[in-house]
Structure 1
Amino acid sequence: MQHGKYRFIAGFLAVPLGLYALFVIWPFVQSIYYSFTDWTGLSPEFSMVGFDNYSRMLDDDIFWKSLWHSVLFALLVPLVTLGLALFFSFMINVGGRKRKGGPVITGVRGSGLYKIVYFFPQVLSIAIVALLFQFAYNPDSGAINSLLRGVGLDSLQPLWLGDPDIALWCVMAVLVWSTVGFFVVLFSAGMASIPAELYEAALLDGASRFTTFFKVTLPLLWDTVQSGWVYMGILALGAESFAVVQIMTTGPGGPDYSTTVMVLYVYQKAFRDGQAAYATTIGVALLVVTLAFAALVMKLGRRERLEY
């Protein structure tokens, strides 16, 4: 009986595991293999060069810049995005004042409208969002500097994407704006599943909204927050950061490599410079950074599961 059960399970999993190995695991293996070659990506001929690509990468100043920028994306973008999403979702679901004849636990007035407003950027493609903000950041005719001129702050008109000191922060702001709405909806769904009796008991005991958030909401929502942190970090290290930097910045990746991230550097080396082997080497480093980030978040965020 047990033998038949395991055979059924193995047969059921064989096809999906085979597809996963073919389309996910095998490309990783190929990338690691090509990182030890001098493959250009254009010719089928190549030879093994050992660790030459890795030595070159360690001596590459632009690689270290891109690594630092990617680490900033992975740490700061999820922190700001999830922090804002938790605040907005808490106010939408729990942060309102008791109205006469209404429930004790309620969201702020117009919470339904706020959900739509916060989620709206998710309807737009990240490419469209990047283009819109590229126009908004234009130092001459952009909406931001035009607004500053309109309120009399003519002297405070930065170059935004043209200033190496602030260009990366401008790009990060776009990524936060475009993703925070998704997590507002996600956290709102989690908060809606928390029994209202827990909030009512906390309020009856004299707990403030601040205390209620940190003692009731956040502990019960922690698994969702942790998963969201890993998901947001992977987005910030991967396609999302590539899209906004590629579309919005000069070069792209400028000025002076001030916005270059690892995934963009991989793209440039592979498709602009014809150095596919070196690009896969940087890709392997990106894989290590992503796995290390996910493992670190899961390790530091581990806590005893709370049930209700």
Structure 2
Amino acid sequence: MRHRRLPFIAGFLVLPLTLYAVLVLSPYAQAFYLALTDWRGVSARAEFVGADNFARLLDDPQVLGALKNNAVMLLVVPIATVVLALFLAAALSLGRRRGAGVYRVVYFFPQLLSVAVVGVLFQFVYTPNSGLLNGVLNLLGIEGRSWLGDPSLALWAVMAVVVWSAVGFYVVLFCAAMESIPREILEAAAIDGASALTRLIRVVLPLVWENVQVAFIYLGMAALDGFAIVQIMTVGPGGPDNATEVLGLTLYRNAFTYGKFGYASALGVALFFLTLALAVLVLRGSRRDRVEMA
């Protein structure tokens, strides 16, 4: 009976596997090949240069500067987003607050806005003279700043927007995970004298750890990209003084401004392996014994 099913199953798999190979694997293969050439994007022929493009990446100050900014984002954005989302989710799910459903909708609202809308919105928020943020600070007697024009503040301003736009999704994700925890476990911990913070760290966090892992991976991928929000919000873009330059923006500029498609493909391949390495490190580094709930 099993052998009779194999042709039937294979028949259903042919079309989706073919589409996957053509639409997903083929572009990857083309990018890997172009990364080994000096293709300029306008010619059908390209000279094979081997690993020269990858060697140039290590000596390109713009790439190294972008990598530094991505590293800062990779350190700040996932941690800030996960910590804030866990706190808000715990307040909504474990505190039995009235109107929790309304708060979830409010927190999730930024997910309904496209990156372009978010970027333009916060351009107005950060406007030095008439922006909302400086207006509030002036009312409090605090001098406003040029948030996107100061090299020491621009990247932090962008990261704050990334956290704001992402945290709502993970609040909903963590709320769903926390509400699946049996109340008896939390009540037993409370009877044993555990404080709310202790219950969150010692009881809740291990039980939702797989969700936290997923959050770190996706947020890490967003931090390694950062192209769209930087492209829309910052001057230059990537400024001021390359303070917000990221790898995705460097890739875009090399391809569509300088016409170095081969070099840009090499940068894309490097970014692909950085993302893959990040996912592997997070999964292996944060691996722990699965906690089963009775």
Q: Residue 264 of structure 2 aligns to which amino acid in structure 1?
A: A
- Deviation string 1:228-287 (CA, Å, 9 cap, x unpaired) is 21122112223xx11110000011011111111111111111111111111101101101
| Paired position in structure 1 for 2:186 | 199
- Deviation string 1:168-203 (CA, Å, 9 cap, x unpaired) is 111010000001000101111111111111111111
- Deviation string 1:140-169 (CA, Å, 9 cap, x unpaired) is 111111111112113xx2211111111111
| Paired position in structure 2 for 1:176 | 163
Q: Give TM-score, length-normalised by structure 1.
A: 0.91
CA deviation after TM superposition for structure 1 residue 85, in Å: 0.4
Q: Does 1:138 align with 2:137?
A: no
Q: Residue 121 of structure 2 aligns to which amino acid in structure 1?
A: L
Identity of aligned residues (%): 51
Whole-angstrom CA distance in 2 between matches of 1:4 and 1:86: 50
- Farther off after superposition, 6-15 or 182-191: 6-15
Whole-angstrom CA distance in 1 between matches of 2:59 and 2:10: 47
| Equivalent of 2:240 in 226, 232, 255 | 255
Q: Does 1:189 align with 2:182?
A: no
| Paired position in structure 2 for 1:270 | 255
Whole-angstrom CA distance in 2 between matches of 1:14 and 1:72: 44
Whole-angstrom CA distance in 2 between matches of 1:25 and 1:274: 24
Tell me: CA distance 1:11–1:236, structure 2 relative to 1, closer, same or farther (3 Å): farther
Task: Name the SS of the counterpart of 2:190 in structure 1.
Answer: helix
- Deviation string 1:32-61 (CA, Å, 9 cap, x unpaired) is 111111111122222112222122211101
| Paired position in structure 1 for 2:223 | 236
Alignment of 1:1-308 (within 5 A): 1-94=1-94, 96=95, 107-154=96-143, 157-238=144-225, 241-308=226-293
Whole-angstrom CA distance in 1 between matches of 2:209 and 2:142: 42
CA deviation after TM superposition for structure 1 residue 83, in Å: 0.9
CA deviation after TM superposition for structure 1 residue 14, in Å: 3.0
Q: Give TM-score, length-normalised by structure 2.
A: 0.95
Whole-angstrom CA distance in 2 between matches of 1:6 and 1:293: 37
Unaligned runs of 5+ in 1: 97-106
Unaligned runs of 5+ in 2: none
Give the total of aligned pairs: 293
CA deviation after TM superposition for structure 1 residue 75, in Å: 2.8
Whole-angstrom CA distance in 1 between matches of 2:223 and 2:7: 41
Task: Name the SS of the counterpart of 2:148 in structure 1.
Answer: helix
